[in-house]
Amino acid sequence: MSSTSASTSADAGESDTGKHNGAAILRRVLVRNRGPLAIGTVLVCVHQLAETAVPISIGVIIDRAIETSDTTALVVSICALGVLFLMLTAAWRLGARFIVKAMEEESHRLRLEVAHRILDPRGVRTDLRAGELLTVSTSDAEHTSWIADIVPRAVAASTAAVASAIALLWIDVPLGLAVLIGTPVILGLLQRAAPLITSRAKGQQESIARASATATDLVSGLRPLRGIGAEASASERYRKVSRDALASTIDTARATSIYTGLSTTISALLAVAIAGLAGYFALQGRITVGELITVVGLAQFFIEPLGLLASLPGYFAVARASSDRLALVLDAEPILKAGSVTDLDGTDLTLDGIEFRTLAGVDLHCAAGELLGIVAYQPQDGEALAAVLSGQLASDEYRGSVSVGGVSLSDMDLTLSRRTVLVEPHISDLFGGTLASNLEAGGAPTADLAKALSASAAADVVDSHPDGLELEVTDRGASLSGGQRQRVALARALLARTPVMVLHDPTTAVDAVTEASIAEGIAQLRHAHPNGGRSTTILITSSPALLAVTDRVIVVDRGVVAAVGTHNELAATDENYRGAVLR
């Protein structure tokens, strides 16, 4: 790993060590880039001082060379002016390079920090949707990094303003006082508008994030939307949030443009007033012609730093609003607490008094090595059971306990929990890449690949394409049919070889023949191999083919366990079971 990568990883890890409100994040950006920013700030200040020196030099040339007709002084002065221009150009280019490099690297670090936090295996407790998180990790991270540019610009502009005021004081005290007094008064008045811009910028970012979240939801659900003919309704929904985002953006742009126009106008009026006062003093003989030209030049130059100082609060408002949104993610508590148990003695699974969503107190035990079927008459009960067994719920989100080998999931080390229990949800997404990269995503040994493909009937998917395992898969597996996607996801889960596996409706998108093959494949792979006695498998399903290979079936009705027995026993004696399974 390169030093840059190492430091980036360290920075990402450090983001979990404490709280970060928006102001703290901005401070941290400045502190960890203090070296490059210090160098860049010094250089751009040198550039501004050199810019200030240009009109002063021109005034001196007029007074000491042109009015005295001193050719030698004129040549020397012009050469010195050339050196001055060379210095200011070099200082700007080098300073801007340090500052821009720091800003871009910081934007990258912030993106990594947000991604690191979002992808934390412990989860992140936030109300932000996927599209909103995407906006936070991209545009908000970029806008927050602006602080690395805002501060050097503010220091450089202040340096120019102070240098101009000193030069004017040297020429004439009232001229210098006009700058020294007028500048803070103008900035103070304009600063009163900063909270309004901050509020509107934050609202703009939130509306854009909502539009991104809606777009993400619609794209991910495009196929089912087409299936039910809901494209028009979905389009109207996105059109509404998009219009809201546009209105918010225009509102923010309007406020910013009014602020910028006002600050520029006031800055220009101050410069004109200074130049006019200098002209009056020249007519009275209080200042020379060279000094008049210097004052006019400084007044014209002064518009730029003063205008910059006046506009920076608007940019700071955007950076602060974005940093506050970053804090929503970086400050979010993890859903899961770190447990301390790092080893287990068994693979039996027990649910004791589980109350969650529609579950009203579920008690069940699955022995080590057992292939257990669970039939939920109400689909929401099956969804709730899968969610609880996944180990991705905080302990305060449900009542009761889930334990494996006598150890509660909440007490397990996260690595142990993930290595022990795998819940394959009803709808699984595939990643963009190849079939091979999706199947091997969990680092499973390739020696088990053929067995997993056969057990899940995903071998048919591989064999049906000339590219085989190198077949390109688009994002979320959209290039595959529902049944193909389901079989590949099942193969990926089987490859993980976790001691406890929960499969929730793994065959809803395949035909009856394939379903029977998969049922037999799961039973053979998980419970007929030499280590089969240690593998525990739970099938949450109403498929008769899958239930037929189970050792025992538990029926859940209205949130509680309603019946227990083998598939054949329940099919023969329980009318409700027959109606739900053998329909």
Model confidence at 546: pLDDT above 90: yes
Are 357 and 51 in contact by the 8 Å Cβ rule? The answer is no
Indicate if the pLDDT at residue 19 is higher than 60: no
Residue 173 buriedness (CB in 10 A; 0-12 / 13-18 / 19+): exposed
pLDDT of residue 15: 42
| Mean pLDDT for the stretch of residues 148-160 | 91
DSSP class of residue 448 equals: G
Residue 206 confidence (pLDDT): 65
Angle formed by the axes of helices 289-330 and 194-220, to 10°? Answer: 40
316 Cβ contact partners less than 8 Å away, ≥ 6 residues apart:
147, 150, 194
How far is it, in rounded angstroms, from Cα 337 to Cα 122?
Answer: 7
Q: Tell me, what DSSP letter sits at residue 62?
A: I
How many residues appear in the chain?
583
| CA dihedral of residues 453, 445, 411, 561 (deg, nearest 10) | 20
* CA atoms within 13 A of residue 449's CA, in its CB half-sphere: 15
Statement: residue 97 has pLDDT above 90: yes
Q: Is 492's pLDDT higher than 90?
A: no
Amino acid of residue 444: A
28: exposed, middle or buried (Cβ count in 10 Å: 0-12, 13-18, 19+):
buried
Greater confidence (408 vs 219) lies with 408
Rounded to the nearest integer, the mean pLDDT of the chain is: 79
Distance CA 52, CA 49 (A): 5
pLDDT attached to residue 81: 78
Residue 273 has pLDDT above 80, yes or no: no
Q: What percent of the chain has pLDDT over 70?
A: 80
Instruction: Show the 3-state SS of 119-138.
Output: CCCCCCCCCCCHHHHHHHHH
Task: Give the residue from 469, 521, 393, 386 showing the smallest Cα distance to 123.
Answer: 393
Give the pLDDT score at 560.
92
Q: What is the pLDDT of residue 449?
A: 84
Tokens encoding 477: 């597996």
Among 16-25, 248-257, 282-291, 327-336, the range with the most confident prediction by mean pLDDT is 327-336
pLDDT of 55:
81
Mean pLDDT of 165-174: 78
Q: What is the dihedral of CA 539, 543, 544, 545, to 10 degrees?
A: -80
339 DSSP 8-state letter? -
pLDDT-derived band at 187 (thresholds 50, 70, 90) equals low
Tell me the two tokens of residue 260.
Answer: 């910028």
What are the backbone angles phi and psi of residue 491, rounded to the nearest 5°?
A: -60, -40
**How crowded is the C-beta side of 280, counted as CA atoms within 13 Å?**
9
pTM: 0.65
